[in-house]
Structure 1
Amino acid sequence: MLPFYNKVTFFSLFRHRRIMLQGNQTISAFFLLGLTAVSEQQQHIFVLFLCMYLVTMVGNLLIILAIVNDAHLHSPMYFFLASLSFTDICFTSTTVPKMLADIQSQSPVISFAGCLTQMYFFMLLVDLDNFLLAAMAYDRYVAICYPLHYAALLSLKRCALLVVTPWVVCNLLSVLHIGLLGLLNFCDQREIPHFFCDLEPILRLACSDTQINDLTILVIGGAVIFIPFTFICVSYFLIGCTVLRIPSAKGKWKTFSTCGSHFLAVSLFYGSISGVYFLPSSAYSAERDKVAAVMYTVVTPMMNPFIYSLRNKDLKGAVRRLLIRKTYFCRW
């Protein structure tokens, strides 16, 4: 739930701030050009993304339900995993349903208020993914490097703090970006070469100076990405040092294998997001941006349930028991 003062700040932008065009006109909507302009390809894209969206929803919901219903999975590691699955559901739902509706309606129009709303939740959720992956890295670090102190270092209160604090911080950062965007004047160009309202394509439509916006993205946006990523790297370095001290090769592999799923998820997420945010703006490419955005907004949330369930016997067992239980009740 968003704090009340943030709601007031956020929605007041829609009521009181007008984006002025040259010629004293007013922008009321943008046009999302989508992934392609070829109508034959759009139908294939619709079917593909609809299937990917449904797989994402079902996979992440199964993980959440399995963790909630199985007492053996009520531990910090699975608490963070359930939080990540919930975030991925919201994250994908921010962009994909609108894109699917645009393809079917052949009217890819989004209002200015709707564009700001989509950007707000998109930035909020992508930043949350960063912090949740860092929290999961901390969980693995404590479990491997300080196993005897695991319960004390990752108490219920601390786990809740590691999840709630990023929600508050990311909420404030999203409000900041949207507030700065509301101060810009826009030209008569209203076509966004993307399938959702992202910050970089919107800034390229502005007529006024965007130096403050660019600086905010570079400093604050960069910090939101680099600080969790650096924390993850340091955690894995310390984990590696601990694993190397284990005498047997089998023990090393068994210990490090508990990090395999998280390491793969981190590689997939940061590997795709680096194609958009880690390169200078002079190297910006709309096509590259769209491909990278598909990877971290659609592919990564879809793959996370498979990554974490296929390599985890406890989670696979919990999902299996959940499905058997639901099937049993459906028969009755």
Structure 2
Amino acid sequence: MTSFDFSSTLPARESRMWKNYKVCLVRDADTMWICELPSANSSTERKKFRHFEKHLNNFFKKAFNELPENIPNDETEKIVIVFHDGQYYRGKIESITSQKRNQIVQVFLLDYGTVLRIDGSCVRVLEPGSWTSVPFQAKLIKLFAISPLTLRYSPTKTLKLLPGKSSEWDAAATNFVQNVFEHKHSVNFVPVKYDSDGCLHGLLTVSMNLSEWASVLQSCTSLLPELLEITTKQSTSSKSEKFEKDLAQILVHLNFANYEREVLEDFARNKCGVQGLPSLQIGYRSDGRLKYQLSDSKTQDSNNEEKEQRAVEVKEACEAISGKCKYDESFFRILF
């Protein structure tokens, strides 16, 4: 289970919702690279990057061939400049394959979240720290508080397939997520916390209509009736109507994933503390089931009634987490 320090807060710049992004590369069902889409309402960072990229291209049109061409085979993970389709890009070497007459270099483009396999003559190693005044635009994110499940046969005569905990994502789950983002639909991301490895976890929502979901599921039609049941609950007026859904909730609903209950409970308790709500206490009933209670502490705050109602909603959210999670339960939205 991933560990988080909920006593610390994200910097203000990172705690807001990231709007109008796209998923560039899916590494696993819960792990992906995202980039902001260009638009009239681009963020300040995106606007700075556009000017930075123009300057970078103008500079390397003259300076690229002045840099050493041959790349030593041990230069993986180095930051490089890449010439591709008439443009220059910042990248990081992932692997180098030496051939008789040239090198083939696999490069991850740090501002676009994509991978290229390209001739080594089109790659130059940059000095450490150079051309980093604007942050790399591709962001590595993970879905918050879910863990993978995989289908296993039950130890009975009927040999039913049942979801069970796994340390790795099932290939079908990752393929499903790749299909969802094949056409680069717009997504929003709500950052929650960095993990101990520096990766940012949060909520990722995607906006699509029913016909687009149906197209995504052409290769896995057994999931289509279940997913249509999910979507039609909130999109009954028109099949072309766009609606926003949380990717983690869909993965849980389809038995690709499970919620990490303890992580969500810790987050809920911290949420109560930060917002000045009655504290959430977690114990066990006599039958062994989890029991959630709110403290009886009262305040003279004029908004006390509103806060108590908010705390009750958080308590009910945790009760939903500990039970069988249904897609239409709003506990995840309540917690955030």
Query: Do the two structures share a fold, i.e. TM-score over 0.5?
Result: no
Quick check: which one's strand share is greater? 2
Quick check: which one's helix share is greater? 1
If the length of structure 2 is used for normalisation, what is the TM-score?
A: 0.24
Higher relative CO (CA 8 A, sep ≥ 6), structure 1 or 2? 1
Decide which structure has the larger Cα Rg and report it: 2
If the length of structure 1 is used for normalisation, what is the TM-score?
A: 0.24
